[in-house]
Structure 1
Amino acid sequence: MTRLFDQMEVLGRILLDDAPKTPGSEEAIRTAAAAIQFVDATGQVADFEDYVRSLEAYAPPLAIARFDTRQDADAWLMAQKRPPSFASILVADEYFSVFFNPTSGWRGLGRQPRLEFYLQEMADERRQPSGLSFSTKAEAEAWMNQQPTPPQQVVIDIAGAPYLAAYHHRIDYRVLYPLPAPTPPSREA
């Protein structure tokens, strides 16, 4: 919790001492400070700090829920009295955005390529394999399910192919994603 309040102090010093000169920066700093105050006032400090830790660990993009089918996700969305205005959910291991307009009451889901971008970035960074190797996907899944708290992301080998063993910690969901081939280097370099 201290860390969050330390950030508030830094924002205050920037605003008072450094007098930002970029147009709109003062309003942006005040908005950031209000966001931090909102996180604190609504009891979300631990969730926020957990979110920051997941960013630092380069965990899979945050999802607030997971559904096996689109129909299940639609039913959940329609049953929400006040759904989030914008959030990500997983539907059959694909990311969808939740949209809600409180003024009109309109709500909907839209597929988003977040997972593809995340996995491609992981492949392009050529993350070091963990040394964990499995003959079959079932063996790898058994390993993941035996972990009390699996790593949020780790590259493993399944039958000679790279996979990302991912743990969506907010929804306690474990999944194996095949990694795509790395993007070839540009000829311009």
Structure 2
Amino acid sequence: MEFLGRHHEEAASAEEKERFSMALDALGFIFALGQTYGFGEYRQDVAAKGPPVVIAAFDTREEAESWLQNHPEPPHHANILIAGQYFLTADDPDINHRAILRDPAFAHYLKEMIQEGLPAPMATFNTLEEANTWLQSQPEPPRQVFVTIAGEYHLAVYHYRIKLRALYPISMAARSAQEGEAADGV
């Protein structure tokens, strides 16, 4: 805070001062809401190149819609999972409109990992059940590691904000891209 405050005072332009003010306000907001630890976890996740953070998970879209419509302070532009797929929340209080939209962020994340080159898998399994048993039995789940299941690469993820362990097939990136193109064409 001291660093930002000093640079705020030394800023040459009003625009630069406003940028430093916004950064100071963002930190003040984090502290005021008691989210210091959450922010620290978020920074660790960013440094580890973790997948997009999710704030909630639901089995069905209906459950997610009900949650969003009944939320006293609906999140805007936050990732949620519905049946293991990434979606984005939207809220426009001016017109009292809330929505859940498909979010290709995770598919893009997987594509980027593929382009960078997949590392050797941490473990290999014959079935999804074996892999899930392994993932659920980890005393401290890995934030993200690669495993193979029946020869196919999967990303094992721990969604720390919601305490959820999940396995995502790398082929999800291609499938999600195709679904997105189909939805765009409709």
Measured against the shorter chain, the TM-score band is: 0.7 to 0.9
Work out whether 1:174 is the aligned partner of 2:174: no
> Which of structures 1 and 2 has the larger relative contact order (alpha carbons within 8 angstroms, sep 6+)?
1
Work out whether 1:98 is the aligned partner of 2:81: no
Aligned counterpart in structure 2 of residue 87 of structure 1, from 67, 78, 81:
78
Work out whether 1:145 is the aligned partner of 2:136: yes
Work out whether 1:127 is the aligned partner of 2:118: yes
Give the structure with the higher percent helix: 2
Structure 2: distance between partners of 1:170 and 1:113: 20
| Residues 8 and 17, structure 2, Cα contact 8 Å, conserved in 1 | yes
Structure 2: distance between partners of 1:83 and 1:181: 28
Aligned pair in 2 of structure 1 residues 172, 106: CA closer, same or farther (>3 Å)? same
Query: Does the residue aligned with 1:138 lie in a helix, a strand or coil?
Result: helix
Q: Can you give the 5+ residue segments of structure 2 that lack an aligned partner in the other structure?
A: 175-186
| Residues 61 and 114, structure 1, Cα contact 8 Å, conserved in 2 | yes
Q: How far does residue 181 in structure 1 lie from its aligned partner after superposition?
A: 10
Work out whether 1:117 is the aligned partner of 2:108: yes
Q: Which residue of 2 aligns with 1:161?
A: 152
Structure 2: distance between partners of 1:95 and 1:14: 38
Aligned counterpart in structure 2 of residue 16 of structure 1, from 9, 19, 27:
9
Structure 2: distance between partners of 1:24 and 1:182: 39
Q: Which amino acid aligns with 2:160?
A: H
Aligned pair in 2 of structure 1 residues 90, 182: CA closer, same or farther (>3 Å)? closer
Query: Does the residue aligned with 1:33 lie in a helix, a strand or coil?
Result: helix
Aligned residues: 174
| Residues 152 and 167, structure 1, Cα contact 8 Å, conserved in 2 | yes
Query: Does the residue aligned with 1:86 lie in a helix, a strand or coil?
Result: coil
Q: Which residue of 2 aligns with 1:186?
A: none
* TM-score between the two structures when normalised by the length of structure 2: 0.86
| Residues 153 and 170, structure 2, Cα contact 8 Å, conserved in 1 | yes
Aligned pair in 2 of structure 1 residues 180, 14: CA closer, same or farther (>3 Å)? farther
Structure 2: distance between partners of 1:71 and 1:83: 16
Alignment of 1:29-68 (within 5 A): 29-68=20-59
Structure 2: distance between partners of 1:96 and 1:160: 28
Identity of matched residues, %: 39
| Residues 55 and 161, structure 2, Cα contact 8 Å, conserved in 1 | yes
Greater mean alpha carbon deviation, residues 79-88 or residues 34-43: 79-88
